[in-house]
Structures are given as structure tokens and as C-alpha cells.
Amino acid sequence: MHPLLRSAGALLVDLDGTLLDSTAAAARAWGAFARRHGLDPAAVAHAAHGRPSRETVARLAPPGADLAAETAMVDEAGVDDTGGVVALPGAAQLLAAPPAPLAIVTSGSTALATARMHAAGLPVPDVLVSADDVRHGKPDPEPFVLAARPLGLDPARAVVIEDAPAGVAAGRAAGATVLAVRTTHDDAELVGAAAIADHIAALLAR
């Protein structure tokens, strides 16, 4: 096990791209949004990763679009379509026997996170902070600060596990130590992480 995991006061773990692979399902949900507005589906899916859907919609939707309705359509598409969602290596092991109190911190909604975890066969922990719970999503530190509270811990004593640049930035801004997995981004995009591994299984095996 990586020494930082062994010494962590708590683990604050991202979901999509870290614990599970939802790439195809997310691409389908965001692809529908992109086609409605004449945008490039691949570029939209990439821009959306690691951020709340409402923020991505607000940034990419054309002037005059109903942002609430567009966000709801993207979120509902994700909840309804979990085809191909699978657990990533080490996810089930970490959730079954975490070395420290654990919370999931996701940029998706609670409904989306729950649907995808069930589809991947992963248990939902007692503490799950989603986009429904925060005013400011990653890269703002609010999601990680909020997740540390029910664990009774200062975020500075926590270890964050992330796959996206926005999540790495959020974890560092919260004062936590960040471990990154290169499941969705190159090492050069994960600047600020204390260490980078291929996946959670590699972190658990060290």
C-alpha cells in the first residue's frame, strides 16, 4: 500500500474515472447535448469531465438556452443510461476495506453517482458528497472541505484520490494531499499530485 494511504486520516475519493469507468455512458449523455447545439461531442465530453454538469452547461450552451432544462436532460440521460459502466481496478477492494474513513466526492448528482455505483457493483459509502450538496464544484475546494466534516477531520489530514485536473486542484486548495490515477488524463495534466499511479489497485499494491 502506498505510504500516503497508510498514514491518511481520511480518504476523499473521486468517483468517475477513479473508482469507476463511465466514459462511454458520459459520452452518450454529453453527445446528445452537443448535437442539440452543434458542438463537437468529443470536445464537450472532455470539457465536462470532473466538473458539475450545471457548470459545463453554463459554459458551453448558446445564449438564450434554458440552462436548468439542459442540465436536467444531461443528468437524466446519465441516470437512465449506465451501459458499460464498470468498476476500475482496486475500487471494490478499497471500498470493502479502506485504510481510513472514506467519503466519495463526485461532481455528478447523487442520483447519477448512485446509479453508476450500482451498475458497477460498488457499495455506496455512508458519506457521499455530490454536486447537489455544494454551491461551487471542483476545482473549488468546497466539495472536499464538506466531505471531511462528517468524518470529523481537517482536510489537511486527508488524502484525496483523483483522476482529473479540476479534482487535483480542488484537493490541493482544500489543503489535502492528492494522489492521482492516470485513467483519464496524462501525467502532465495532473500537476500538483504528490504521486501518480495507473489506478487504485496500483496504489494498494505498493
Task: Return the CATH number at 186.
Answer: 3.40.50.1000
The range of the structural domain enclosing residue 199 comes to 3-22+84-205
Predicted pLDDT at 86:
97
Predicted pLDDT at 85:
96
Active site residue 16: yes
Same domain, 120 and 55: no
Q: What angle do CA 191, 154, 200 make, to 5 degrees?
A: 45
Total tally of structural domains belonging to the chain: 2
Give pTM, 2 decimals. 0.90
16: DSSP letter: B
Same domain, 119 and 200: yes
Query: Model confidence over 160-185: pLDDT tens digits?
Result: 999 999 999 999 999 999 999 999 99
| Best CA proximity match to 177, nearest among 4, 19, 17, 3 | 4
Active site residue 198: no
Host H or E run for residue 74 = helix 67-80
Alpha carbon distance 148, 157 (integer Å): 9
Host H or E run for residue 196 = strand 195-197
Alpha carbon distance 104, 94 (integer Å): 12
Same domain, 147 and 176: yes
Q: How high does pLDDT run on average in the chain? A: 94
Predicted pLDDT at 206:
66
Alpha carbon distance 92, 20 (integer Å): 10
Predicted pLDDT at 168:
97
Same domain, 28 and 14: no
Which parts of the chain have pLDDT scores under 70? 206
